[in-house]
Structure 1
């Protein structure tokens, strides 16, 4: 890649892309949002407010054929991610695809094959691994700051019960708490520790219209256990606690840092003293875009691969199986 700005196209004018990822692309150093494709072009109007001169395509294939696009971001409904990511790669466009990449771990394999076949960058938009609070936490764990890790607790909840038409509340578009936010509680545990769940020891899931709306999942890793609560029907809350034999670390806004609350890491040891570190002005979405650009230019590897995404989806598949499977 040259030093010219990387010109992005967004495949699907989702609300999330308009509010967060579109502005992040346009704010990132060395990047520009150049085009949006939407089958309802009026939905693209909100993007022009921060990206003047934006091109609007009324067809996804037209954006993939646009020679003025260097990379594609895909925020389509979950069930469309693999199909359109493969089509983007085959059109010669590197891809940043929203989480979850797919609804089953095996469904990610054709995308991995397409990435390898084309030699192009294709990664999941798992923004938290770009935030410095998570890098700091992983360093502390590796350095033994809390001694031997014995247990992880993760909670991520919100309430969208008033929006039944939301794709997260529809089974046909890949809805559910585990696909939407379980990827964070489970995936962050995997990434921070570098370990995989050996067994799902408990899975209790509440279902509505084929979507999991409240999940309580416990797992056994090599050396520690974990328990995760994810819900689309509870008061908003999020935290992650890593509990060791000589100390503990808590992240108080681990997933929506800056929106849910200030990014804050609390480290407490046997002395009873709690040491606090904060990151008040970090935009993890901007950092994610800049990391993607660094990967395209060969400057640094992207810290979250399709294989990482597949590992999290494998754990989610295990949780569903432990709960007796998804509704027919």
Structure 2
């Protein structure tokens, strides 16, 4: 259901899929992922893209609008980040009672496309010390993200970590603006209604020409990794890292494009087509667990009300045979998702590929 109406039970957040060009043969780019610290992980070796919760005080303040204006950012440059579609998921819909135009009149009505980009960029700096930004001499809003080497990086990282609203002060001090225009809308996921702690997350994708130097925030990050999608999935199959289903699904999509420039062009064009919220609905079929996604014949229209597992009187094979349109994944263990999608992906997106059978031999 693309226009999912979530409530305060789902906390909004943003993640950043950061793609760095490499000289490797085959897949010529790497992705940045991080192992969460033992304090923050829900499972040992949980691995995620950089990101975290929206902070209203830090990300939603009108002080950002004032700063953009002082910096010389024109209204048209901000408007190009706003996508108006009839079926926007709630997390990306206009907030409050006003329309988008009120956002540009310095009210408390914000466009979430801008807020969540600020969230993703702030969290990326907090967690691994990467500041994607532009200065006054480089306001060309290019396709590839720019980043700044931050003096006293550890000091600023801790300052922002302890008080997220200090991210704006960091930008003021360095005389830069967050590179919002290099983040392309990629996907959106919401926690199933069956879980206790629920989040809804917008995934953005951004590209850099070279791998930036990283500084891990020790209370949040145990290890950082630059690897290809296939290498990450292989490590998950070997039980060396652990993913939640959204990470597996997105990595499986990225298996489709192995070229950096091709992925950049695809991401730029696809981002204008919008996003469908993926909130899995879980069915129990005998001993198997099957999670269905939007477009599947068994998807529940009001998925946010599916707070209990749905019992199906039969096997997963029988469950599959009952559907003509299939968009689902089977859960077999950590990161062992078997994704099936038998119709064109929504929003012009990539069709996920299941892991090669010889993956462990690579």
TM-score, normalised relative to structure 2: 0.24
Determine which structure has the larger strand proportion and give its number. 1
Determine which structure has the larger helix proportion and give its number. 1
TM-score, normalised relative to structure 1: 0.25
